[in-house]
């Protein structure tokens, strides 16, 4: 029994949501929509007296602005189409869950005394006078703007049809008649049979892995033991699924662990690398770790922990959520951000969350070409991804500190959605070191947070696959920030009361991964899947184990504290359930009620996966350079660069993210007199009343990878490091995080250049080792995503190899940090660091190549890094900052000095007279275009008060540092070339307009 409530704004009140839909329909779908009015629909499931129904209606609607009806509200006087968008059965309905608490509060009934509430939204669409809006147009509006049919249902009526339609009140309930039961899987067939089982079950297990499983279960001792335990001789579906999770690329990082034979095709040099992670990433951090006590916990937990001050450690993790965001951009992205929040939350004894970061690699929102069937237009992906992370971050009360976007057509097949979270944790929690992770046999296994549904089943194995047309809808989850926020507050409270011994998050692989990995700490676990709270009936045991339903943490609770833990959870309205206990039996044991459904030796579960052996072959690509443009002024080129997609202002979307909750911000993502230019790095306090803080930055430049992945990685690391140095971080207080997103580097018939992509991966890792050890910037955490390809309509689209390197750095005194805008007329302007002829894959060359109609001809020398020289500069920068010499400091990135000059001027609303002849260079003949636009690494643009110029020069004695001009009050940028010719002479307003226009309103 359910009844329906409809709520709409009173007539005459502006409907901002409807107005947005109408504007979107006109601007992006080119439909003649005059107006849109919206309504909220609630289907309340349960049996209620008429008087109770009226009380619920009253409680649901704001009496000042809204009217509400049981059943149906009268429709607007004039409309052409009514589109109602609801959720498919089983899809997370966050508003519906909240509405159920209103029913409970309004009636004074417990929440479980009735079914639930299910929501939908109605859009009443009116066409422009004289224009026709056909049914097909309305369908397009519904499908391309209002609903995603993977998760939504659409009902469409014209006005007479809607008047005649019955009042629908049936909620979208899940009906799964199947009785829960584990099945055994026969692995005795041929290799083809094994591969079919893997493929049809979306297990993503290779033939070698399937054989290893078959052989393990075939061993006489395994068979004998299974008979005594009441298990079939062949593995159950629960066991097979659990192994597939544990052995997935997503969880096991098989490519980063593989043995690789690397060959340089030009030199003939060959070598064997025993694991990229072990050799280069862990290898570098271990080497750095021997010289410092900053590292508290690295690579072993959900996030890396470093020392901050005597009260707090800080932890950080950056994740990607690419495949789900391709299918449902909003749901995938909100899950990405609330999901990565749980990483610091589940690190050590549990961190408090301080800040979020985001970054997206997408195809252009202005993409005009065809979009392969099954993929979404990049503008829609971008809108959905932003909104998902906006809602996830804002509703969780966590400010964003960094955000970036990179655009390249190759991200059409797979968008990259990076989400990061920074946490802090007191050095000591409940009388012990807060980074500890221990579990004792006998501790209860407790799951808390949300309930389990089919959401996200096979997410881990799915993300280890390329995106195919038939990719599963269940792979989509929708994050629920409020359920998570309530759980988070409860966990911090429980932590400080010492109510649990260990915790971890339920992410990819659900309980299978969380408990499966936690139980290594005690030596085993025994768990009853039938005790897990479900969203709806009908889940199979393996589905309960694998579900990636969000907002869940798994804990180890000592038996004598279990009652107190569960009581506090109940008081805070957080669901918590004891599912079993940790043991030291050496096995992960699962039951469904009394029925045994799995018994997996931990040694086999975590150590039985055969190692991959891969081939990498490097031959440098040959890329032509663009034609050199005629000598002359470069005002137009500068405006084009400022307006280029990868350079231009992202302020329009960014203002929708909350960057100031917690009140700790010091340097915001946007700085300057008008707060409209991007900061090099952001800075925040870590606690109220403190003077020390953290600086955050990142480096990412996939374009250099088209010439050499080594240069790409070296440049990304240098950029991330020099950005925090620019605001004032000490070079020896920086920690890094690596995120590798790669196209499939495993060669096969379908992926013929896999060996080249793997060689690129090897080179990027070698750069990471070289740079992080030279700078002594340890990687404290990282992540890889290795299958970023899509095959649709027979066309393979692979992303460019992409390394994101993020940095966080301790700031001694936040009041002394330096920002990038010019500050005062008369200040002396200095260029620090060498400029080389490094225009290969630069923003300038790529724009030039595109303008010349040969976008592939962006070649040239790619920017390199000389780490020893760079480090000397970074130390000198830090000393100058400490001595209070710097009024502004900015590091050039895309667009080189030219864009750097312009942004520093725009930020300060001040002009400058600058001379390229004075730039520190090695080759005096370096031409003006290279001087202006070369993207050489390790450089800074700084200003200082005229009376401090001599002190500044002394600080940089022996280093490449030269005065290149003066800040002027007149808002005009003048740059003279090396022979005295004026290259740029522009007032600031056209530069500002160029920088702001491209993505304004998009």
Partner 1 sequence: MSGRPRILVITGYGLNCEAESCHAWARAGAAPEAVHLSDLLADPSRLDAFAGLMFIGGFSFGDHMTSGHVMAVRLRHRLGPHLERFLDRGGLALGVCNGFQIMVKLGLVPGLPDPRASRLSPQVALMANDCGAFQNRWVRVRFEPDSPCVFTRGLDTMPLPVRHGEGKLFVPRKAVLEAIEAAGCVACRYIDPETGAPADRFPANPNGSVHAIAGLCDPTGRVFGLMPHPEAYLYPENHPTWDFEGSPRDEGEGLALFRNAVEFLRAG
Which residues bind to partner 1, rule: CB under 8 A?
Answer: 13-14, 16-17, 19-20, 40, 59-60, 62-65, 94-95, 98-99, 101-102, 105-106, 108, 390, 394-397, 480-482, 485-486, 489, 571-573, 655-668, 670-673, 675, 685, 688-689, 814-815, 817-819, 821, 823
By CB neighbour count within 10 A (0-12 exposed, 13-18 middle, 19+ buried), where does 822 fall? buried
Least Å from the CB of residue 20 to partner 1: 4
Give the nearest distance from C-beta 919 to partner 1 in angstroms.
26
- Tell me how far apart the alpha carbons of residues 140 and 749 are, in angstroms, rounded to a whole number: 38
Which backbone phi and psi does 998 adopt, to 5 degrees? -55, -50
Nearer to partner 1, 100 or 141 (CB): 100
Nearer to partner 1 by C-beta: 99 or 961? 99
User: 363 to each of 212, 375, 550, how far by Cα in Å?
Assistant: 41, 12, 28
Identify the burial level of 689 via C-beta atoms within 10 angstroms of its C-beta, where 0-12 means exposed, 13-18 middle and 19 or more buried.
Answer: exposed
Least distance CB 682 / partner 1 (angstroms): 12
> To the nearest whole angstrom, how small is the minimum distance from the Cβ of residue 821 to partner 1?
8
Backbone angles phi, psi at 786, to 5 degrees: -110, 0
What minimum distance in Å lies between the beta carbon of 429 and partner 1?
18
* Strands 33-45, 116-127: pairing kind: antiparallel
Instruction: Report how far residue 628's alpha carbon sits from residue 839's, in angstroms, rounded to the nearest whole number.
Output: 11
The residue (of 375 and 811) whose beta carbon lies closer to partner 1 is 811
Q: Which of residues 316 and 354 has its CB atom nearest to partner 1 in the complex?
A: 354
Given the complex with partner 1, which of 357 and 394 has the nearer CB atom?
394
Is the separation of the CB atoms in 276 and 765 below 8 Å? yes
- C-beta closer to partner 1: residue 17 or 379: 17
CB of 502 vs partner 1, minimal distance in Å: 24
C-beta closer to partner 1: residue 14 or 290: 14
Gap between the Cα atoms of 625 and 855, Å rounded: 10
Q: How far is the CB of 910 from partner 1 (least distance, A)?
A: 11
Length of the chain: 1002
d(CA 116, CA 119): 10
Which residue has tokens 């709520």? 7
Note the Cα 109 to chain centre separation in Å: 40
Could you give the CA distance from residue 383 to residue 339 in angstroms, rounded to a whole number? 20
CB of 656 to partner 1, least distance (A): 5
- Nearest C-alpha neighbor of 450 from the set 523, 367, 520, 554: 554
Cβ nearer to partner 1, comparing 16 with 370: 16
Query: Is the Cβ of residue 296 or residue 942 nearer to partner 1 in the bound state?
Result: 942
Nearest approach in angstroms of CB 350 to partner 1 is 17
Nearer to partner 1, 246 or 906 (CB): 906
Q: How far is the CB of 818 from partner 1 (least distance, A)?
A: 8
**What are 20's two structure tokens?**
């947005």
Q: Nearer to partner 1 by C-beta: 126 or 823?
A: 823
Which string of DSSP letters, residue by residue, matches 306-366? EE-SSSEEEEEEEEE-HHHHHH-HHHHHHHHHHHHHHHHHTSTT-PEEEEEEEEEEE--TT
Closest contact distance (angstroms) between CB of 396 and partner 1 is 7
Minimum Å gap between C-beta 771 and partner 1 is 30
Question: Do residues 877 and 889 make contact, with C-beta atoms less than 8 angstroms apart?
Answer: yes
Report the DSSP beta bridge partners of residue 274: 259
Nearer to partner 1, 273 or 486 (CB): 486
Residue that has been written with the tokens 């955490």 in this structure: 781
SS3 423: strand
Closer of 372 and 690 to partner 1 (Cβ): 690
Least distance between partner 1 and beta carbon 658 (Å) = 5
Nearer to partner 1, 21 or 295 (CB): 21
Give the nearest distance from C-beta 819 to partner 1 in angstroms: 4
Q: Smaller CB distance to partner 1: residue 376 or 574?
A: 574
Asked whether 866 and 939 are in contact (CB, 8 A), the reply is no
942, 933, 790, 935: which is closest to 878 by C-alpha?
942
Q: What angle do CA 907, 394, 116 make, to 5 degrees?
A: 160
Give min distance, CB of 35 to partner 1, in A. 14
Output the DSSP codes for 732-797: GGEEEEEEEE-S--S-BTTBTTHHHHHHHHHHHHHHHHHHHHHHT--EEEEEEE---EEEETTEEE
**Is residue 830 within 8 Å of 889, Cβ to Cβ?**
no
Nearer to partner 1, 43 or 716 (CB): 43
Parallel, antiparallel, or unpaired: how do β-strands 734-741 and 779-785 relate?
parallel
C-alpha span between 896 and 76 (Å, rounded): 56
Name the token pair of 925.
């003949």
Whole-number Å distance between alpha carbons of 195 and 183: 19
Q: Edge-to-edge, what's the strand order for the sheet holding 270-274?
A: 270-274, 259-264, 613-618
Beta carbon of residue 499, minimum distance to partner 1 (angstroms, whole number): 15
Shortest distance, position 653 Cβ to partner 1, whole Å: 9
| CB of 237 closer than 8 Å to CB of 542 | yes
Contacts of 569 (CB under 8 A, 6+ apart): 448, 490, 494, 575, 576
Which CB sits closer to partner 1, 357 or 395? Answer: 395
State in angstroms the smallest separation of the CB of 102 from partner 1: 5
Residue (77 or 688) nearer to partner 1, CB:
688
């Amino acid at each position: 029994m359910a009844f329906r409530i409809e709520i709409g704004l009173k007539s005459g009140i502006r409907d901002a949501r409807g107005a947005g839909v109408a504007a979107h329909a006109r601007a992006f779908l080119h439909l003649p929509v005059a107006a849109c009015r919206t309504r909220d629909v609630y289907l309340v499931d349960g049996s209620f007296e008429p008087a109770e129904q009226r009380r619920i209606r009253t409680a649901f609607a704001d009496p000042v602005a809204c009217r509400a009806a049981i059943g149906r509200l009268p429709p607007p006087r004039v409309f052409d189409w009514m589109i109602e968008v609801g959720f498919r059965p089983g899809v997370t309905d966050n508003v519906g869950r909240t509405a159920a608490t209103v029913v409970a509060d309004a009636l004074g009934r417990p929440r479980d005394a009735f079914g639930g509430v299910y929501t939908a939204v109605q859009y009443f669409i009116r066409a422009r006078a004289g224009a026709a809006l056909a049914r097909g147009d309305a369908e397009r509006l519904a499908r391309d703007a209002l609903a995603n049919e993977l998760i939504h249902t659409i009902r469409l009526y014209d006005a007479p049809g809607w008047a005649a339609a019955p009042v629908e009140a049936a909620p979208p309930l899940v009906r799964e008649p199947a009785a829960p039961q584990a099945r055994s899987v026969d692995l005795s067939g041929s290799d083809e049979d094994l591969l079919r089982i893997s493929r049809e079950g979306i297990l993503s297990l290779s033939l070698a892995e399937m054989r290893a499983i078959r052989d393990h279960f075939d061993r006489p001792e395994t068979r004998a033991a299974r008979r005594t335990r009441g298990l079939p001789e062949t593995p159950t579906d629960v066991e097979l699924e659990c192994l597939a999770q544990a052995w997935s690329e997503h969880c096991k990082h098989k490519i980063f662990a593989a043995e690789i034979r690397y060959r340089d095709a030009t030199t003939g040099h060959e070598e064997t690398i025993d694991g990229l992670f072990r050799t280069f990433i862990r290898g570098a951090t271990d080497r750095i770790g021997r010289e410092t006590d900053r590292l508290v916990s690295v690579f072993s937990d959900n996030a890396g922990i470093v020392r901050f001050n005597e009260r707090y450690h800080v932890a950080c993790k950056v994740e990607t959520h690419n495949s789900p965001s391709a299918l449902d951009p909003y749901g995938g992205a909100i899950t990405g951000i609330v999901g990565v929040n749980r990483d610091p939350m589940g690190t050590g004894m549990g961190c408090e969350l301080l800040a979020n970061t985001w970054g997206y690699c997408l195809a252009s929102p202005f993409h005009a070409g065809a979009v392969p069937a099954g993929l979404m237009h990049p503008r829609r992906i971008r809108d959905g991804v932003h909104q998902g992370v906006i809602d996830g971050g804002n509703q969780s009360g966590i400010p964003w500190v960094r955000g970036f976007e990179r655009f390249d057509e190759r991200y059409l097949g797979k968008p990259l959605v990076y989400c990061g979270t920074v946490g802090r944790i007191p050095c000591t929690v409940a009388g012990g070191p807060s980074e500890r992770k221990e579990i004792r046999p006998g501790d209860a296994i407790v799951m808390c947070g949300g309930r389990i549904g089919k959401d996200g089943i096979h997410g881990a194995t799915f993300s280890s696959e390329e995106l195919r047309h038939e990719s599963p809808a269940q792979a989509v989850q929708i994050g629920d920030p409020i359920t998570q926020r309530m759980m988070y507050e409860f966990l911090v409270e429980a932590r400080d009361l010492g109510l649990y011994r260990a915790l971890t998050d339920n992410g990819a692989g659900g309980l299978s991964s969380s408990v499966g990995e936690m139980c290594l700490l005690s030596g085993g676990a025994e768990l009853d899947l039938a005790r897990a709270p479900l969203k709806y009936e009908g889940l199979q045991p393996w589905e309960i184990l694998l579900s990636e339903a969000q907002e869940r943490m798994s804990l180890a609770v000592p038996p004598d504290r279990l009652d107190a833990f569960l009581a506090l959870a109940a008081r805070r309205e957080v669901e918590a359930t004891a599912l079993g206990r940790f043991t030291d039996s050496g096995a992960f044991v699962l039951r469904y009620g009394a029925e045994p459904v799995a018994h997996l030796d931990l040694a086999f579960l975590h150590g039985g996966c055969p190692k991959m052996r891969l081939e990498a072959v490097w031959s440098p690509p040959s890329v032509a350079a663009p034609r050199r443009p005629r000598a002359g002024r470069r005002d137009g080129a500068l405006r084009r660069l400022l307006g280029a997609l990868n350079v231009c202002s992202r302020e329009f979307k960014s203002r929708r993210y909350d960057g100031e909750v917690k009140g700790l911000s010091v340097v915001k993502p946007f700085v300057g007199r008008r707060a409209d230019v991007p900061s090099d790095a952001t800075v925040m306090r870590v606690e109220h009343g403190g003077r020390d803080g953290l600086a955050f930055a990142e480096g990412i430049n996939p374009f250099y990878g088209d010439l050499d992945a080594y240069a790409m990685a070296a440049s990304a690391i240098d950029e991330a490091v020099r950005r925090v140095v620019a605001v004032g971080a000490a070079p020896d207080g920086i920690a890094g995080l690596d995120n590798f997103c790669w196209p499939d580097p495993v060669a096969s018939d379908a992926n013929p250049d896999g060996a080249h992509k793997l060689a690129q991966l090897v080179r990027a890792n070698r750069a990471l080792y070289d740079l992080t050890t030279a700078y002594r910037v340890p990687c404290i955490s990282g992540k890889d995503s290795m299958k970023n390809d899509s095959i649709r309509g027979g066309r393979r689209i692979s992303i460019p190899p992409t390394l994101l390197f993020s940095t966080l750095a301790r700031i001694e005194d936040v009041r002394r940090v330096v920002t990038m805008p010019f500050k005062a007329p008369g200040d002396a302007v200095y260029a620090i660091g060498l400029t080389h002829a490094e225009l290969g894959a630069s923003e300038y060359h790529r724009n030039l190549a595109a303008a010349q109609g040969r976008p592939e001809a962006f070649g040239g020398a790619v920017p390199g890094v000389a780490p020893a020289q760079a480090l000397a500069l970074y130390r000198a920068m830090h000393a100058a900052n400490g001595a209070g010499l710097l009024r502004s400091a900015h590091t050039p990135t895309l667009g080189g000095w030219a864009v750097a000059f312009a942004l520093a001027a725009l930020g300060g609303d001040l002009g400058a007279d600058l001379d390229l002849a004075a730039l520190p260079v090695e080759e005096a003949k370096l031409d003006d275009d290279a001087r202006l636009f070369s993207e050489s690494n390790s450089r800074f643009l700084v200003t200082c008060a005229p009376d401090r110029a001599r002190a500044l020069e002394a600080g940089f004695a022996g280093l490449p540092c030269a005065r290149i001009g003066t800040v002027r009050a007149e808002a005009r940028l003048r740059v003279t070339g090396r022979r005295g010719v004026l290259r740029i002479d522009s007032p600031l307003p056209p530069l500002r307009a160029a920088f702001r226009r491209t993505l304004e309103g998009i």
